[in-house]
Amino acid sequence: LRWLDLHNLIGIVTLTWALVVGVTGVISACADLIIAAWRNDTLTAMVAPYRDAPPLTRLAPATRLLDIARDVAPGMNPDFIAFPGTRFSSEHHYSVFMKGGTHLTSHLLTPVLIDASTLQVTAVGERPWYMDAMGMSQPLHFGDYGGMPMKILWATLDVLTIIVLGSGVYLWVV
């Protein structure tokens, strides 16, 4: 192959990869907006019955939250707990965010809302499409889905992109 042909061949591969990384990077950059949309849409609907409830005077102990969440979301593992009054919960709920057990679903979070005074499950959230897109784009952007082989592929594509850019400048000058 001639130098220009090799440049074009590698360029096609790296352009496709760069577009994937670019699009997933844009989605990741919009994470705060996506989370705000989820809070204003899905979370608001999930806690609507508590809108006019009086403030809590006492919280139930959080010791059983993980067991309660595992019971209503079998096959999923807890990722984090949001306490009442925080960004990912309401004034009246503990939120246990559950993640899937496979590589693909391990970045998709499902909230389990538990009443902070009675420890009763009040809602298991459905993820909107934009939260799925954000959850799947971040590991794809950073090459975290396939472990070390994916990271090696990502590093190789990084180097190839640099080579294509450098050879493009060289071919343009010469």
Contact between residue 86 and residue 74 where contact means Cβ atoms under 8 Å apart: no
pLDDT number for residue 140: 84
Taking residues 154-172, what's their average pLDDT?
91
What are the residue ranges spanned by the domains of the chain?
A: 3-173
- Sheet-wide strand order for 109-115: 76-82, 93-100, 109-115, 121-124
Taking residues 8-14, what's their average pLDDT?
91
Contact between residue 34 and residue 130 where contact means Cβ atoms under 8 Å apart: yes
Sign, CA dihedral 63-45-127-125, equals positive
pLDDT number for residue 174: 82
Residue 1 confidence class, pLDDT cut points 50, 70, 90: low
**How far are the Cα atoms of 55, 87, 104 from residue 60, in angstroms, in the given order?**
14, 20, 34
Contact between residue 110 and residue 116 where contact means Cβ atoms under 8 Å apart: no
Judged against a pLDDT cut of 80, whether residue 42 lies above it is answered with yes
And the tokens for 165?
Answer: 């850019």
pTM value is 0.81
3-state SS of the chain is: CCHHHHHHHHHHHHHHHHHHHHHHHHHHHCHHHHHHHHHHHHHHHHCHHHCCCCCCCCCCCHHHHHHHHHHHCCCEEEEEEECCCCCCCCCCEEEEEEEECCCCHHHCEEEEEEECCCCCEEEECCCCHHHHHHHHHHHHHHCCCCHHHHHHHHHHHHHHHHHHHHHHHHHHHC
Q: pLDDT per residue over 45-80, tens digit each? A: 999 999 999 988 899 999 999 999 999 999 999 999
Q: pLDDT per residue over 97-155, tens digit each? A: 999 988 778 889 999 999 999 999 999 988 899 999 999 998 888 877 767 888 889 89
Residue 170 confidence class, pLDDT cut points 50, 70, 90: confident
pLDDT number for residue 104: 79
